[in-house]
Amino acid sequence: MSSAGSLQGEAAARDPHTPSPTLDRPDDYLHAQSTLRSWFLTTDHKRIALLYLASITAFFVVGAVAAGFVRLALVVPDGAILTNDTYNKAFTIHGVVMVWFFLIPSIPATFGNFLIPLMIGAKDLAFPKLNLASWYVFMTGALFTLAAVVLGGVDTGWTFYAPLSTAFSNTWVLPALIGVTITGFSSILTGLNFVVTIHTMRAPGMTWFRLPIFVWTHYATSLIFLLATPVITLALILLIAERAFHVGVFDPAYGGDPVLFQHLFWFYSHPAVYIMVLPGMGVISEIVPAFAQKKLFGYRFVAYAAIGLASVTFFVWGHHMFVNGQSDLASLAFSALSFAVAVPSAVKVYNWTATIHKGSLRLDTPMLYAMGYIGLFVLGGLTGLYLATLAINQHIHATYFVVAHFHYIMVGGTVLAFLGGLHFWWPKITGRMYSEPWGRISALFIFIGFNVTFFPQFILGYLGMPRRYATYPPEFQLLNVLSSAGSTILAAGYLFPMVYLVHSLWFGRRAPGNPWDAKGLEWETASPPPPHNFAGVPRVPEVPYDYPIQAPETGRQHT
Amino acid sequence: MKAQSALALWPPAASATAVETDHIILGFTVLTLLLTVPVFLAITYFALRYRQGEVADRTTDGRRSVLIEISWMLIPYVLTLFFFGWGAKLFIDSRHPPPDAMVVEAVGRQWMWKFQHPTGQSEINDLHLPIDQPVRIRITSQDVIHALYLPALRLQIAALPDRTTEIWFKADRTGTFRLYCSEYCGTDHSVMDGNLTLMTQAAYQDWLTHGGAQQSNVAAGRAIYESYGCAGCHDGAVAGVKAPALAGLYGRAVHLADGRTITADADYIRAKILNPNANRLAGGGKQVMPSFAGVIPADDLDRLVGYLKSYHRVADGETR
Amino acid sequence: MSADPAAAGPVGVTRAEHFATVGQQRHAATLGMWAWLLTELLLFAGLFLTALILRLLHPEAVQAAAGHLKFWIGAANTVVLLCSSLTMSAAIELSRLGWQRMMVGCLVATASLGALFLALKGYEYYADYEEHMMPFLARRPYALAEQPATRLFVNLYYVATALHAVHLLTGIAILVGLTWKASRPGFLQRHQNWIEVYGLYWHFIDLIWIIAFPVLYVVNR
């Protein structure tokens, strides 16, 4: 295994059915059938992934437009552009749609669905019909909620805190809650499918420590889906029961406990942050070695770190309630445990950096996104430690500092990873190459626009501007205008890919099976893959990330 | 001071705890830079140095890297733990008031704050307090969850509907600072704010005896007018309810259903709020207003009546 | 659908296209059901935990409210569900032996016992209604109105038992469908593992009641 060329030759020899990139391929999964029915009743994990991709892109647009209204309103301090009520409804649309219908399904439901069977050498997920059903469940819940928040309007924020949501809000809270509850089942079914698939469907020779990190992080994510989602389902059912039938346990009018809702809510919603972050880490762990042409540094540590993050995240929910009258002891414990999250996160970041060291780097679009991801994730993660520090939290809790922090994690993290992955696997998914210059330009726009939008919000937060404010004191205007200006750059950066990626579907260059000289079973089949993924049973290489440049590997002797 | 410059990059600090919080965050920022700048520089350097096509030494030794892995896992963690300890100590201190602290009761409701001083005076949305004196704020809510946020003191605490939470501080700098509601509480969350005025002990005593006892400023009355839902019907925001407009009511003649005509003075307004069914108005409108007897405390009622007395002046010019 | 050699005997499983072996398929089905049951367990665990927290917060109110629960109906229902688990286990054993007719009999018995549970539960709800123990009914006075915190426990009791009843109702509906399919000739040659996988679900519903009964009825007596 010394040079890229010989590996290429070997890969081609392994799979003699890889068609030449210039031929039309009517037998690939995209062209095998073409009726509408063959899309909406498909059980092919790749087609279901595309159904998800189309739907979450639509939801992303809705959420982004709402964010645009929010930033527009905040250009002036006195609320002259949107009334308080409209502003509150706009940020609720943004939060609800982005969290529940874009971020949570984003990478798992699209790339996870598409790639897990390919990466482990399976023909499909273990339960293909269940996979299709979970898309329908997702769409049912999503459209229900979308109708409620867009047509009716809901003003509780995505957090639905009781008793505001159960007794005081006069908006369409109930349908929104029902829709979110339904969507939860889609998460559970997807997670269940992934866990079972990764356990039982691996190709012969695909041992656990030969799995790509992408599969490891999705395994960890699926565990969170399975273990945390039922708790939010329960919390939402209790909320629905309380709002609709006055059957509930949160309303203090009956001696109930509104903080109990926060506990149940964050017991899910903090792990949900890792539902959003872990798959992104998986994507970056694939992109970085491919574009450094170097074996991933410390494979086993990175794999264990994914499981470690998924475990620690279940024990830190109380850091959302430091100022809510929680006992000192609980606050101390949750603060200390939150600091522990830094350990597995540091493992990831330093290992990616070490992988780049002495690599042979190509700075194509996916790699630009990956490098942007590392920078923004580091900032987002460390500002998370600020928030976990009790005395600092007492000042910046529920201010714009929090808003900036979680946007660095969710946009800087999840969205950049999503876009990086989209460009990385676009040739595999569609069989076409996108426009590289446009890709790099939009990556740059997004990176700059993102930082101009959200960095000022760290300062605003420390200055003491509370979040979810439709009006604000005039001394905060300058930074708010700067933030809004940045969001227009960010919006342009989002628009470019929607144009040039769609354009490439018809006019892009045909993609070869492995345009990046990347390793992993998904690159050993044709682009796009045939309906059952592989022409024969794929041969699993002995070492994961077997790139030309080696890296020290602590666990290699065991594989 | 309240008139801050357009681009302030650091908030004013009005207590020793606030200054120490700033020290923690500054120290943490230094550590953050120490941990991140090398990573950013390394990524940039590697990206340039090891670009494909660049001539560079790419040989790696096959040494086991457990030591490196463990060290970059644990060293940053241990360093940050120092700030965990410091922050925890300061936080715990702010939870345990000294016994000589003066107690201010605070109540949040949609969408106003009400503060009651130990001597009985109360004020709406604004809070006047002495410096160099430990102050303990006991806080609760009458409806949803709110949170009192005092940025100049680097403190906030939730106002929960079913229990009392508390926070204490000892300010050491006079001035007027902002106070906010920081827990999202519905439509007018962002206008549930006011001013925290820190004054010398002498000035505070003076304020209590002269200003505080009869605080009847228009803004406080307006907050109550909106908080108790008067504005919804009487300012025409709720469709289908034909409640009489109250602007300019004070001092005007009112025709009643039994043929009498009386002047709308303070007593009339007060009686009408507590018992809307008495003194039915002429014109045959359906009486739908609920009684506020037992709902609105006496001091709030005083402020409300005070506000209605001045409503015509307000309505002519600025409405707020 | 290609028949596997293993399916030639009286009992077996037809391999679906995307699985490499029947063993893999059986493993996937079993693991899938366990994963599902894990999430269900967490759903109910949150509910029971909330019930225990309520007991800590308002001990007198919880005991006053729990005093109105019909302990003996709950106990009888526990016995009914345990018996249904027994008949379900028997059905699984019989399916492995290939004794189709007796297996179908056991499945019918299981579904009937489940229906008996629901009937008893329905009677219990009716008795609660008669005792004015439905605080969420706006027009019906509530028996313990002077103790507002009792509403919390009573409400939680309805949420927990209703959620369990919904699971049981779904279970019975699926079981009826399964029994109808299982009575067809050749079922055990093709889908024997359906019975095993379904059995896991039925035992789980039983398990939830076995937790709910002590948490709601027994510890508060």
Does the pLDDT of residue A22 top 60, yes or no?
Answer: no
Q: Check: CB of residue A248 under 8 Å from CB of residue A238.
A: yes
User: Which chain A residues are within 8 Å of C138, Cβ to Cβ?
Assistant: 246
DSSP reduced 3-state for A527:
coil
Q: Check: CB of residue C106 under 8 Å from CB of residue C90.
A: yes
Place of tokens 């909406």: A40
| Contact across the interface for C43 and A230, Cβ inside 8 Å | yes
- Which chains are adjacent to chain B, needing at least 3 Cβ pairs under 8 Å? A
DSSP reduced 3-state for A448:
helix
Q: Check: CB of residue B223 under 8 Å from CB of residue B281.
A: no
Give B271-316 pLDDT, tens digit per residue.
Answer: 888 888 777 777 767 777 888 877 788 878 888 888 888 776 444 4
Give A166-221 pLDDT, tens digit per residue.
Answer: 888 888 999 999 999 999 999 999 999 999 999 999 999 999 999 999 999 999 99
User: Which chain A residues are within 8 Å of B91, Cβ to Cβ?
Assistant: 322, 328, 331, 390-391, 393-394
Give A56-97 pLDDT, tens digit per residue.
Answer: 999 999 999 999 999 999 999 998 999 999 999 999 999 999
Q: What span, in angstroms and rounded, lies between the C-alpha atoms of B262 and A1?
A: 102
Q: What span, in angstroms and rounded, lies between the C-alpha atoms of B174 and B195?
A: 13
Q: What span, in angstroms and rounded, lies between the C-alpha atoms of B121 and B115?
A: 8
Cα distances (angstroms) measured from residue A209 to each of A120, A255, A493, C61: 12, 52, 38, 54
- Going by the DSSP 8-state scheme, the letter that residue C35 receives in this structure is H
Phi-psi region of B165 (alpha: psi -120 to 50; beta: other; left: phi over 0): beta
Q: Check: CB of residue C120 under 8 Å from CB of residue C84.
A: no
User: Which chain A residues are within 8 Å of C158, Cβ to Cβ?
Assistant: 247
Does the pLDDT of residue A475 top 60, yes or no?
Answer: yes
Q: What span, in angstroms and rounded, lies between the C-alpha atoms of B170 and A98?
A: 42
How many CB atoms within 10 Å of residue A56? 24
In chain A, which among 280-299 make CB contacts under 8 A with chain B? 292-293, 297-298
Q: What span, in angstroms and rounded, lies between the C-alpha atoms of A28 and B312?
A: 77
C–A contact (≥3 CB pairs within 8 Å)?
yes
Alpha carbon B103 to its chain's center: 18
Does the pLDDT of residue A421 top 90, yes or no?
Answer: yes
Q: Check: CB of residue C206 under 8 Å from CB of residue C85.
A: yes
Does the pLDDT of residue A11 top 70, yes or no?
Answer: no
Q: Check: CB of residue B211 under 8 Å from CB of residue B117.
A: no
| Contact across the interface for C42 and A192, Cβ inside 8 Å | no
Q: CA of A137 to nearest chain B CA: how many angstroms apart?
A: 31
Q: Please tell me if residue B254 touches chain A, with a CB cutoff of 8 Å.
A: no
H/E/C letters for each residue in A299-363? Answer: HHHHHHHHHHHHHHHHHCHHHHCCCCCCCHHHHHHHHHHHHHCHHHHHHHHHHHHHHHCCCCECC
Give B45-63 pLDDT, tens digit per residue.
Answer: 988 888 888 887 777 766 6
Give B125-153 pLDDT, tens digit per residue.
Answer: 889 999 999 999 999 998 899 999 999 99
10-residue stretch averages of pLDDT, chain C, 221 residues long: 48 84 90 93 87 82 85 92 94 90 93 95 92 80 78 85 93 94 87 91 93 85 68
Question: Apex CA B165: angle with CA B159 and CA B166, to 5°?
Answer: 115
Cα distances (angstroms) measured from residue C174 to each of A136, A269, B276, C171: 21, 33, 60, 5
Cα distances (angstroms) measured from residue B26 to each of A367, A392, B20, B180: 33, 11, 10, 24
Q: Please tell me if residue B60 touches chain A, with a CB cutoff of 8 Å.
A: yes
User: Which chain C residues are within 8 Å of A193, Cβ to Cβ?
Assistant: 32
Identity of the amino acid at C165: A
The percent helix, strand, coil of chain C (3-state, each to 5) is 75, 0, 20
Q: Check: CB of residue B282 under 8 Å from CB of residue B253.
A: no
Q: Please tell me if residue A253 touches chain C, with a CB cutoff of 8 Å.
A: yes
A–B contact (≥3 CB pairs within 8 Å)?
yes
User: Which residue among C36, C58, C155 places its CB closest to the CB of A248?
Assistant: C155
- Give φ, ψ of B195 to 5 degrees: -115, 140
Q: What span, in angstroms and rounded, lies between the C-alpha atoms of C148 and A248?
A: 12
A and B: number of Cβ contacts within 8 A: 267
Question: Apex CA A129: angle with CA A188 and CA A111, to 5°?
Answer: 60
Give B193-240 pLDDT, tens digit per residue.
Answer: 999 999 999 999 988 887 655 555 667 777 788 778 787 778 766 666
Identity of the amino acid at A392: I
Nearest CA among A371, A399, A372, A362 for reference residue A383? A399
| Contact across the interface for C47 and A234, Cβ inside 8 Å | yes
Residues present in chain C in total: 221
Q: Which residue has the higher pLDDT, A27 or A4?
A: A27
Q: What span, in angstroms and rounded, lies between the C-alpha atoms of C210 and C200?
A: 15
Identity of the amino acid at A70: V
Q: Check: CB of residue B197 under 8 Å from CB of residue B276.
A: no
User: Which of C24, C25, C159, C194 would you mutate first to test chain A, the one with the most A CBs within 10 A?
Assistant: C159
Q: CA of B215 to nearest chain A CA: how many angstroms apart?
A: 24
Q: What span, in angstroms and rounded, lies between the C-alpha atoms of C218 and C221?
A: 5
Q: Please tell me if residue B174 touches chain A, with a CB cutoff of 8 Å.
A: no
Give the residue from chain B lying closest to A344, CA to CA.
B73
* pTM of the shown model: 0.88
Does the pLDDT of residue B169 top 50, yes or no?
Answer: yes
Residue B64 pLDDT class (50, 70, 90 cuts): low
Q: How many helices (H) and strands (E) does chain C have?
A: 6, 0
DSSP reduced 3-state for A275:
helix
Nearest CA among A21, A3, A15 for reference residue A511? A21
Q: What span, in angstroms and rounded, lies between the C-alpha atoms of B156 and A399?
A: 11
Nearest CA among A270, A240, A262, A118 for reference residue A179? A240
Return the H-helix or E-strand segment holding B197.
Answer: strand B194-199
Return the H-helix or E-strand segment holding A48.
Answer: helix A45-73
* Interface predicted TM-score (ipTM): 0.87
| Sign of CA pseudo-dihedral C142, C144, C146, C147 | negative
Q: CA of A486 to nearest chain C CA: how many angstroms apart?
A: 42
